[in-house]
Structure 1
Amino acid sequence: MKVIENKNYYKMSELVEVSTLSNHTISFYYKKGLLPNTLSTSKNMKYYPEITITVLNMIKYFKDNLNFSLDYIKELFDYYQINFENRADLILQSIQMLSSEIKNPINKKDLDIDILNEAISLDLLDDKEVYFKTEIEVLNVYKQLREYDISTDLISEYVSTSKKLAILERKLSTKVLEKTGFLPEVLVLDILNAFKPYIFNRHTIEEFKKAY
């Protein structure tokens, strides 16, 4: 690692060692616009900023765990205007990318506005002009629940409980940060993508067993 203007940088060989990705793969990601800008020295040596490791870990996670294509990852990076300067912002953006698929966009005006406004008021969705695949799925589930005359109070309680769970997730991450001084981005994504869904669904199954 080399310190340039009080910032840490990696040579390609160091990136290969830390990330376990090949020189060819990293270069391909860079050419595709998935990595932050490099810094060149007078000896024509390229150095990659330290945050590149976080970005490479994110890309690997999205490919291996979520089967995202590189083209779709690039689409996500462009849509969320990835911040290659701030690691905390980058991790937050990775959570957004994991949570919402930006596919099949539908304009707000083309949706059932009454149902949409109800969903927004219950904090199921944000109020915006364009909605994507995951958001439309949430809206459709909400619409079906309302067709069965499910009380909005019950749905509101579900949202409230989700917010409490979100606070606990943040506390888990904060404890790791306090212990290590470093928040592993892959751990954050695993909590959201594997830990939470499995535990939540496991106990949901137990509740359904009681009812039936």
Structure 2
Amino acid sequence: MKIIDDKTYYKMSELVEQTKLSNHTISFYSKKGLLPNTLSTSKNMKYYPQITITVLNMIKYFKENLNFSIDYIKELFDYYQIDFNDRAELILQSIQMLSSEIRNPISKKDLDKELVNEAIKLDLIDDKEIYFKTEIEVLNVYAELRSYEIATELINEYVITSKKLAKLERQLSKKVLEKTGYLPEILVLNILNSFKPYIFNRQTIEEFKRLDYE
């Protein structure tokens, strides 16, 4: 670790130790444009900014847990214009990448106008010109749900509950940051990708089991 202009930098060997990735892999990611710019000293030694560890952990998570290819991760980084200077912003962008795959883009004008407007009004999707895979899946499910009278009530409760939970998550994250000065990006991704869906789906399963006894 080296302090240059009051900023922390790491050598390649330190990145390998911190992330458990090989120097070949890290160099490959750098050549693909997935890592922030390095700093070279007069001794021709390359140093990587501290945020590189966060970026590497993100890439590792996307590959190992979501089976994202490096080319697709590069597409995500380019689309969201990854900010290599702000760790908090980087974690926020990783959440966006996790929740909305940028595959199979469809123009708003090519979708059912009434369906899209209803979904926007219910706060299921954002109002924009291009929608991607996950958003289209949401629209398709909503198209099926809207034929049931209880659908709007159920969706409203989903949205209300998700907003309340999001505020609690933000408050908890703030407390963690205040206490430790650090919010592990992998913890955030694990909560979103596995822990939270498990908790919600577990309760849904329990409720559906009760149908057998009613």
Per the shorter chain, which TM-score range?
over 0.9
Question: 1:63 & 1:151 partners in 2: Cα distance?
Answer: 36
Q: Does 1:100 align with 2:100?
A: yes
TM superposition shift of 1:157: 2.0
Q: Does 1:4 align with 2:4?
A: yes
**Which residue pairs with 1:203 in the alignment?**
203
TM-score, structure 1 as length reference: 0.96
**Which residue pairs with 2:124 in the alignment?**
124
Runs (5+) with no aligned partner, structure 1? none
- Give the match's secondary structure for 1:47: strand
Q: Which amino acid aligns with 1:61?
A: Y
- Give the match's secondary structure for 1:44: coil
Question: 2:158 & 2:51 partners in 1: Cα distance?
Answer: 37
Runs of 4+ in 1 over 6 A off after TM superposition: none
Q: Which amino acid aligns with 1:75?
A: E
Question: 1:144 & 1:100 partners in 2: Cα distance?
Answer: 21
**Which residue pairs with 2:80 in the alignment?**
80
Q: Which amino acid aligns with 2:150?
A: I
**Which residue pairs with 2:15 in the alignment?**
15
TM-score, structure 2 as length reference: 0.95
8 Å contact kept, 1:173–1:188: no
Aligned length: 212
From the superposition, tell whether residues 12 and 204 of structure 1 become closer, same or farther in structure 2 (CA, over 3 Å): same
Question: 1:141 & 1:132 partners in 2: Cα distance?
Answer: 14
Q: 1:139-158 alignment to 2 at 5 Å? A: 139-158=139-158
Question: 1:36 & 1:102 partners in 2: Cα distance?
Answer: 22
**Which residue pairs with 1:192 in the alignment?**
192
- Give the match's secondary structure for 2:146: helix
Identity level (%): 80
Runs (5+) with no aligned partner, structure 2? none
Q: Which amino acid aligns with 1:95?
A: I
Question: 1:9 & 1:15 partners in 2: Cα distance?
Answer: 10
TM superposition shift of 1:143: 1.0
Q: Write the deviation string for residues 87-143 of structure 1: whole angstroms up to 9, x where unpaired.
A: 000000000000011100000000001110010011100000000000000011111
**Which residue pairs with 1:89 in the alignment?**
89
Over aligned residue pairs, what C-alpha RMSD do you find? 1.1
Q: Which amino acid aligns with 1:203?
A: Q
Question: 2:175 & 2:200 partners in 1: Cα distance?
Answer: 21
Q: Which amino acid aligns with 2:117?
A: N
